[in-house]
Amino acid sequence: MKAAIFVENGRIVLEDKAVPDIGPQDALLRVTTTTICGTDVHILKGEYPVAKGLTIGHEPVGVIEKLGSEVKGFYEGQRVIAGAITPSGWSNACLCGFCSQDGAGTKHGWQAIGGWKFGNTIDGCQAEFVRVPDAMANLAPVDDRLTDEQVLMCPDIMSTGFAGAENGGIRIGDTVAVFAQGPIGLCATAGAKLMGATRIITVDTVAARMAMSRTMGADEVIDFKAVDPVDAIMEMTDGRGVDVAIEALGTQATFEAALRVLRPGGTLSSLGVYSSDLKIPLDAFAAGLGEKSIKTALCPGGKERMRRMLEVISSGRVDLGGLVTHRYGLDDIEAAYELFANQRDGVLKVAISV
């Protein structure tokens, strides 16, 4: 089969690779559509280490090609998605509701980011076929009335962005600020609206992303190159600050800004992938006495999470199809990486047809 493989820092290339073998609890998925994530770009740049020769990608839409002998409740030829996070379903972490930190087989059943296997610890989805581990915990059927592009965001960015809103504990009537309107930040904006926020303020500077932000539910959009977003948000809220601040980029500047606009007792929901130590400014943290909460998240996975994401799409409550701005075939995935990694031509998400 053809697969996008990590060769070395700066090189992910399309090569031939053996079709994966599957075990009794696995499924072999024939991938029909996948995409490229910002995390894949971190891998490409050497900012997140993976083994050489690993197939990259963690967002599959496809058809079940083959089922392991112990897999029940699914059938070959069935159209499905699998989440970017593929938990075992039985570890201590999973049974406590932290599937992303799945530590199946470890001494205590917990492992930081252990649920992320595709394109991290096992071969991923930017290929013609992918092995889905623990299939009964991770496959979710797709209604034939939905297109691949309609559900393509469910495995990762939709689930991750919504987690940012959920971790913020957003309540009806809340004011929410979302820093960065890349694909995950846009999904966080959509999630905040679904959860009942009545005023959503977003921050970015790319015109296409700012326009899409309003489509996703933003009431006010701040261009951080035109004004200081902290000053602007504090003025907009009459000095009160926001109830929830969602950080969706992963930099010191956005993290600190999110903390500074947060009212006492508010929640900073962090979705960023940080590449260096963070510093917490004493005044913004109120010397540790401001009762501010900081919560982090990794994309929730598993079949029930995917079912819920699919229900949101099928109900029409959120339409994320507009996030797909570019389309490539698997044969041209190297060109797709060049476009996405350099954020050219107003790209948000790239659909890769297999």
- Angle, alpha carbons 97-98-102 (nearest 5°): 125
Q: Which segments within 119-195 are labelled E, that is strand? A: 129-132, 139-141, 175-179
Q: Which amino acid is at 196?
A: G
Rounded to two decimals, the pTM is 0.96
Per-residue pLDDT reduced to its tens digit, 120-136: 999 999 999 999 999 99
> Which pLDDT value is given to residue 323?
96
Go through 98-125 and write b for each residue having 16 or more CB atoms within 10 A of its CB, e for each that does not.
bbbbbbbeeeebbbeebbbbbbbebbbb
> Has residue 276 got a pLDDT over 90?
no
The CB-based long-range contact list for 251-255 (8 Å cut-off, 24+ gap) reads 252/276, 252/278, 252/279, 254/179, 254/180, 254/203
Mean residue pLDDT across the chain: 97
- Model confidence at 232, in pLDDT bands (50, 70, 90)? very high
Per-residue pLDDT reduced to its tens digit, 23-56: 999 999 999 999 999 999 999 999 899 999 999 9
Hunting for tokens 């609890």 — which residue is that?
25
> Has residue 273 got a pLDDT over 90?
no
Task: List Cα–Cα distances, 331 to 65, 129, 148, 327, 342, in angstroms.
Answer: 21, 14, 18, 12, 19
- Model confidence at 275, in pLDDT bands (50, 70, 90)? confident
Residue pair 125/321 in contact (Cβ under 8 Å)? The answer is no
Task: List Cα–Cα distances, 46 to 49, 68, 126, 259, 340, in angstroms.
Answer: 6, 35, 18, 29, 16
DSSP state of 18: P
